């Protein structure tokens, strides 16, 4: 069930010079779902998360080896704009062991269930990334990779990933029409996009591994990568094209307007 009422914190008065709040993503999900229902396209999920509400996300450790640590926070400033996810990876001084951390950050406030909405036909995940700081010689701050969960498994984009290397905000985009585009780390498993598949939630995976060339250990090192403007569009095979959906919605509104006029004339 969606709630379309506008809470006081999310309402605005254009006459008073106020601007719309960017909080929270649930409002965008409800709006997208309602428009889909109105146009006959109920089998769709749209997530647009520009402010990071910590309670709406779940962090899952996939791999952790060596003494490195990862802390994920949501500072209210420094994003693109406003709040963002900041991933602070640290390796202590003297460590000579290989380290690796893979941790998924999943948006748990919305779910796509193929058993209810139909087989997943296409999935698009977009977000912006930035290197906040790094002491690694290659200037990298790790990888931020689209991910999803299903049946207790974490699946990542399997087509390849690019590291976060720019201090400027840069967009990342990934589109998929096949479950083969996703794989579980270190296995040959893929998710099930068919109508028999389990419910899915979407997010991204942080991944970074480091080595020290000296047996005596290296200096302490750290990096920070940021992510903002997380956006997902999950569509079932039966969802009409956007233009068709808008035409259906416009037709329904026109029909309602005519009925109101007929009622008033009577």
> How high is the pLDDT of residue 29?
52
CB atoms within 10 A of CB 63: 13
Please enumerate in sequence order all residues whose Cβ is within 8 A of that of 264, keeping only pairs 6 or more positions apart, or say none: none
**pLDDT tens figures, 143-160:** 999 999 999 999 999 877
Q: Is residue 53, in this structure, part of any structural domain at all?
A: yes
Please count the structural domains in the chain: 1
Q: What is the pLDDT of residue 219?
A: 86
State pLDDT tens for residues 32-44. 544 444 444 447 8
Is position 212 within any domain?
yes
Q: Are strands 57-65 and 99-112 parallel, antiparallel or unpaired?
A: antiparallel
CATH code: domain of residue 59: 2.60.120
Residue 116 forms part of a structural domain: yes
Let me know if residue 203 belongs to a domain.
yes
Domain that holds residue 226: 42-239
Q: What percent of the chain has pLDDT over 90?
A: 60
Question: What pLDDT is recorded for position 149?
Answer: 98
In a domain, 28, yes or no: no
Q: What is the pLDDT of residues 54-72, one digit of tens each?
A: 999 999 999 999 999 999 9
pLDDT exceeds 90 at position 45: yes
Write b or e for each residue in 77-114: b if 16 or more Cβ atoms lie within 10 A of its Cβ, otherwise e.
eebbeebbbbbbbbbbeebeeebebbbbbbbebbbbeb
CA distance 141 to 223: 5
Q: Is residue 133 part of a domain?
A: yes
Element (H, E) at 252: helix 242-265
Whether residue 66 is contained in a domain is answered as: yes
Query: Quick check: is 152 in a domain?
Result: yes
Q: Which of 23-37, 111-125, 184-198 has the lowest mean pLDDT?
A: 23-37
């Amino acid at each position: 069930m969606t709630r379309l009422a506008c809470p006081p914190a999310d309402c605005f008065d254009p006459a008073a010079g106020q601007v719309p709040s960017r909080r929270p993503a649930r409002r965008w999900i409800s709006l997208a779902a309602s428009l889909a229902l109105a146009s006959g396209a109920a089998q769709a999920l749209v997530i647009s998360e520009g402010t990071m509400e910590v309670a709406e996300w779940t962090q899952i450790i996939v791999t952790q080896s060596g003494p490195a640590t990862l802390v994920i926070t949501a500072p209210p400033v420094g994003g693109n704009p406003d709040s963002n996810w900041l991933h602070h990876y640290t390796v202590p001084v003297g460590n000579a062991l290989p380290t690796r951390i893979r941790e998924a950050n999943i948006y748990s406030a919305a779910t796509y269930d193929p058993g209810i909405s139909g087989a997943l036909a296409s999935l698009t995940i977009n977000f912006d990334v930035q290197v906040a700081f790094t002491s690694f010689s290659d200037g990298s701050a790790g990888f931020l990779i689209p991910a999803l969960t299903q049946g207790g498994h974490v699946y990542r984009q399997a087509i390849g990933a690019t590291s976060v290397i720019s201090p400027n905000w840069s967009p990342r985009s990934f589109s998929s029409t096949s479950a083969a585009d996703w794989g579980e780390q270190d296995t040959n498993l893929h998710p099930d996009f068919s109508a028999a598949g389990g419910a899915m939630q979407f997010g991204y995976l942080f991944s970074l591994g480091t080595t020290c060339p000296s047996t005596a250990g290296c200096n302490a090192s750290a990096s920070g990568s940021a992510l903002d403007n997380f956006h997902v569009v999950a569509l079932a095979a039966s969802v009409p094209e956007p233009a068709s959906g808008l035409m259906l919605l416009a037709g329904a509104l026109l029909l309602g307007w005519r009925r109101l006029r007929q009622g008033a004339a009577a």
